[in-house]
Amino acid sequence: MKLEMFRSARVKLTLFYLAILLAFSLTLTVSFRVLFERDYSRSNMVQRGEVRQLILRSLEGDYYGDPIPSNDFMDVQRDQAAIVRQHLNDDLLFINALALVVGGILSYWFAGRTLDPIEKAHEAQARFATDASHELRTPLTNLKLENEVFLRQKSFTEKDARELIVSNLEEVQRLEGLSASLLALTQYGHATLKLKQVNVARLVDTALKHAEKIAEAQQVACVNKVVSTNILGHAESLEQLLSILIDNAVKYGPVKGTVTIGGQKEDGHYLLWVQDEGPGIDPKDLPYIFDRLYRGDKARSSKVGGYGLGLSLAQAIAKANGAELRAQNAPHAGACFLLRLPLARPKKP
């Protein structure tokens, strides 16, 4: 259905582009034809006027030059003009036919280029809607089943009721976390942040404090190799971005592993990276790693949990800060996330 819709739209857009091209081509053709006829008529009138003057002068005995052109000569000129017109019409017809063929091919190609980002956005939206509905359906289904099973019991204790309430609250918290992440993703996608001078070392220290509990639970050591300097950004949002990256590295890294946070100046920017010692990212998943609700390795993702919104949110925060966030696999092992930040201009003394 979707494929047919975009094919139909591409054909319509191709015809629209082709109509514009043909209208332009026909306008040039008609204009050129009219200008030719006008110039030829003027030339013909001048020539006839000169012949008429020569005839009058010869009758008066004042002309002793070359022989005056006869009527046969004038007929030959008219025949030649007709041949020139025919050749001109044939050439113009060939040019318009060529424009129709080449223009049709180019119009079809340009129509595809025009619709390509729209088609990708449509696919992303459809995938997001499907994944979001799936993520919402899971906690809602759990809530429904647990309550239905509980209500079928003829008798229950206070302990049973408390356990049900606790379980329900856990599912509600999942729904709350999902809705909060979606809201934050939407806000950062349309936000215009006020960027100020921020010390990158302080950002990393704050983010590491937020990740202390989860790092201790996984027995993961976080190594800070950041070179302190000032960057241009929004402190709170960048702290959230770094917390997401560190949290992601801790979750996907091995128990008793190491997460390295480093940074240095590079080409007029500041390059900050977060690297883990996990299995890395499957190459087929790299192009989609920042898509909303995308989770490549289902087996690995099921162990980690979450909704697949963290990296999407991190990417939205990076763009709102005028930064660039990308992912790659480390040379030896693990995944590495690189954040390219603008440096703050030094204050004038």
Q: Are strands 269-275 and 196-199 parallel, antiparallel or unpaired?
A: unpaired
Q: Tell me which amino acid residue 303 is.
A: K
Cα distance between residue 341 and residue 343, in whole Å: 6
CATH of span 128-190: 1.10.287
Structure tokens at 325: 């966030």
Which residues, 6+ apart, have CB-to-CB distance to 309 below 8 Å? 178, 181, 182, 185, 292, 293
> What tens-digit pLDDT sequence spans the chain (349 residues)?
566 777 888 888 888 888 888 888 888 888 877 777 776 666 655 455 555 555 555 545 544 444 545 455 455 556 666 777 787 788 878 888 888 888 888 888 888 888 888 777 777 677 666 666 766 777 788 788 888 888 888 888 888 888 888 888 888 887 877 777 777 777 776 667 888 999 999 999 999 988 888 888 889 999 999 999 999 999 989 998 999 899 989 988 888 899 999 999 988 899 999 999 888 888 888 888 888 777 665 444 544 555 677 888 889 899 989 899 999 998 777 899 999 999 987 665 5
Structure confidence at residue 76 (pLDDT) = 57
Q: Report d(CA 60, CA 58) in Å as an integer.
A: 5
Residue keyed to tokens 């302990």: 159
The dihedral formed by the CA atoms of 289, 291, 293 and 297, expressed in degrees to the nearest 10? -20
Options 1.10.287.130, 3.40.190.10, 3.30.70.20, 3.30.565.10; CATH of 196-342: 3.30.565.10
Find where tokens 């999942």 sit: 174
CB 193 within 8 A of CB 235: no
Distances (CA, A) of 85 to 37, 103, 175: 9, 26, 78
Asked if 342 contacts 269 with a C-beta cutoff of 8 angstroms, the reply is yes
**Hunting for tokens 């329900």 — which residue is that?**
168
SS3 content of the chain, % helix, strand, coil (to 5): 65, 15, 20
Q: What is the pLDDT of residue 68?
A: 45
- Return the pLDDT at 136: 73
pTM of the model: 0.58
Q: Is 231 helix (H, G, I), strand (E, B) or coil?
A: strand
Residue 343 backbone dihedrals phi, psi, to 5 degrees: -75, 145
Closest CA to 325 of 311, 340, 343: 340
Judge contact between 327 and 248, C-beta under 8 A: no
Q: Are 295 and 308 a contacting pair, CB within 8 Å? A: yes
DSSP character at residue 247: H
CB atoms within 10 A of CB 123: 11
Whole-number pLDDT of residue 299:
40
Check: CB of residue 240 under 8 Å from CB of residue 339. Answer: no
In this prediction, residue 300 carries a pLDDT of 46
348 burial via Cβ count (<10 Å: 0-12, 13-18, 19+): exposed
Domain ranges across the chain: 2-124, 128-190, 196-342
